Amino acid sequence: MTKQIWSPSQIGKADAKDLSVHNYEELAALHAIAKILAQPQELRDHLEQVLKEMSLRLGMERGMISLLDRETGEAWLDVAHDVNIQGLEVMYKPGEGITGRVAQTGRPMAVANLGKEAHFLDRTGARRSLNRSELSFLCVPIIYDARVVGVISADKVARIVENLDRELAMLSAVAELIARAVHTRALEEENRRLRMIVGRTKAPSVDIIGSSRAMQEIFGLIAQVADTNTTVLINGETGTGKELVARAIHMNSSRKDSPLIYVNCAAMPDTLIESELFGHEKGAFTGASHNRKGRFEEAHGGTIVLDEVGELSAAAQAKLLRVLQDKQIQSLGSSRVVNVNVRVIAATNRDLEQDITSGRFRSDLYYRLNVFPIYLPTLHERGSDIIMLADHFVLKYAKGLNKPVNRISTSVLEIFLAYQWPGNVRELENCIERAVLVATGDTIENIHLPPSLQLKIKDGEKKEPGKLKNVVESQERSLIIDALKETRGNQSKAAKLLGTTKRITQYKIQKFGIDPWQFRPRRTVATAQSMEEKEM
């Protein structure tokens, strides 16, 4: 058995060395693949055609492209040629089989004799009736922005394989060409799969959107605590959805038909806190012209939500503690004690344990509130939930503003995934509302994002180099395509328009897989191509 395993650095060296000696068919195949990727069609169609070209021109049979799940590291088969995958759900765990190992390590593998390879799983069953000893197998990672986003593999008749290293270099060149398309396809497919999961999973509220692992854990906690009388403390940054979680707990409890009273503790001054929470009698203080029920009495039989409970003063904390201990309230100016049956949910964006250490918050009150804590993740920690939420807000505001917007461009999605979202879901919603408002077509593009968002991304690029490479390349590719459109495919004129050299422009065109000939008038394509090749 012959098996080759290369490191990423070796791949680059081998590519550079072997590209200079590619034969005509190999160069023609790479050119054909670049043209395929430049066509305006669905990404899945792109990838299917790429595998077909590999078969026709390179003799690579049974080609397959698998996408990588960013959270689990699992690779699932997405596109295949000469393999019937209809109705199949083929998945490889990290390190499982050859595909799983390549996905996990980011290193290519080549097997000279497939019949002697114990790690080959053949989960599709495509080689069940074939003599594996007559086949070689090639498998390389698809790397985008220094991260494995997928795996491409193919068989080849062993007797026509002269050099496994050369074959791997060729497949690696194909992988480099399709890397961006596979990255985008993975985002699209991940979003579709998440939607399917949401459809199968009963969320505690239609207002809470998300199926990341972090949110699935939150859903589980809500299901556990909802139909009890246990006091809940919701911790989370501003804009993470604490109020929505509190409402979901109430609506999934036996108290759902009783009042849900929401109190913003940060908005109540000390002079009014007792009256606001517990009520007052007429004449209890200057301006008390009538009897008034407090929020606790209004919530009797239901739930009271104490938002920003960490902002309560020391005096207000002491009064709240007595209510939680005794389940009784006494209105200002009254000697009457009222028993209340109220479920308490508190929420805060502060570190109450740190506030206890500094003397800002009472430890006895904290332990009364912190019976069942729920910690909400930041939006940046929720991964692909960002895409789901963005889609949801697009539909919401497109309908509300009567605009035809129904999709978000790939470059904008990449910005969303790279951004830190200090304002969390609330900031994303505001961003989408503005984008829908200013959009002129059916798609949200980069120019529709708030200037502040784009400025923060540029500032953050210095601190985290490489993380926004995909955003920069997306903008660069768009500029080159616009220039080629304006100059009708003339690369020299496009270079002048972009303020750079023709050599650099040609390098970028090749790097991004752009076909400049598609922008030429049909009658002059052949002549122009011949002239430009002579210039080069």
Domains annotated for the chain, with CATH where assigned, are 3-196 (3.30.450.40), 213-376 (3.40.50.300), 383-533 (1.10.8.60)
What residues does 143 pair with on adjacent strands? 148
| Tokens at 529, concatenated | 């191509």
Which CA distances in Å does 116 have to 102, 111, 140?
18, 9, 19
pLDDT of residue 532: 45
- Give the mean pLDDT of the chain: 80
Per-residue pLDDT averaged across 324-334, rounded? 78
Residue 465: is its pLDDT beyond 50? no
Residue 2: is its pLDDT beyond 70? no
Amino acid at 84: N
Using one digit for the tens of pLDDT, what is the confidence trace for 294-306? 888 899 999 999 9
CA nearest neighbour of 151 among 137, 138, 141, 136: 141
Asked whether the beta carbons of 343 and 388 are under 8 A apart, the reply is no
CA nearest neighbour of 168 among 211, 108, 118: 108
Using one digit for the tens of pLDDT, what is the confidence trace for 471-484? 556 667 767 877 78
CA nearest neighbour of 374 among 204, 175, 224: 224
What is the 8-class DSSP label of residue 332? B
Angle between the N-to-C axes of helices 502-511 and 469-486, in degrees from 0 to 180, rounded to the nearest 10: 120
Percentage of the chain modeled with pLDDT above 70: 81
pLDDT of residue 215: 85
**In 39-127, where does DSSP find H-type helix?**
43-58, 97-105
- d(Cα 116, Cα 385) in Å, to the nearest integer? 43
Per-residue pLDDT averaged across 100-125, rounded? 86
Residue 469: is its pLDDT beyond 70? no
Residue 193's pLDDT band (boundaries 50, 70, 90)?
Answer: low
Per-residue pLDDT averaged across 461-470, rounded? 46
Tokens 């109220």 found at: 342
pLDDT of residue 481: 76
pTM above 0.85, yes or no: no
Using one digit for the tens of pLDDT, what is the confidence trace for 366-421? 999 999 999 999 998 887 788 889 989 999 999 999 999 988 887 788 788 878 89
- Rg of the chain's alpha carbons, rounded to an integer? 31
Strands 260-264 and 303-307: parallel
Q: Can you tell me whether residue 127 is helix, strand or coil?
A: coil
- d(Cα 61, Cα 81) in Å, to the nearest integer? 8
Find the range with the poorest average confidence among 147-151, 187-191, 310-314.
187-191
For 329, residues 6+ apart whose C-beta sits below 8 A from its C-beta are 277, 278, 279, 294, 296, 297, 323, 337, 338, 340
- d(Cα 170, Cα 164) in Å, to the nearest integer? 10
Residue 242 or residue 196, greater confidence: 242
Q: Can you tell me whether residue 92 is helix, strand or coil?
A: strand
Residue 288 or residue 515, greater confidence: 515
Residue 5: is its pLDDT beyond 80? no
Using one digit for the tens of pLDDT, what is the confidence trace for 497-531? 777 777 777 777 877 777 777 676 644 444 444 44
- 85: Cα within 13 Å, side-chain hemisphere: 20
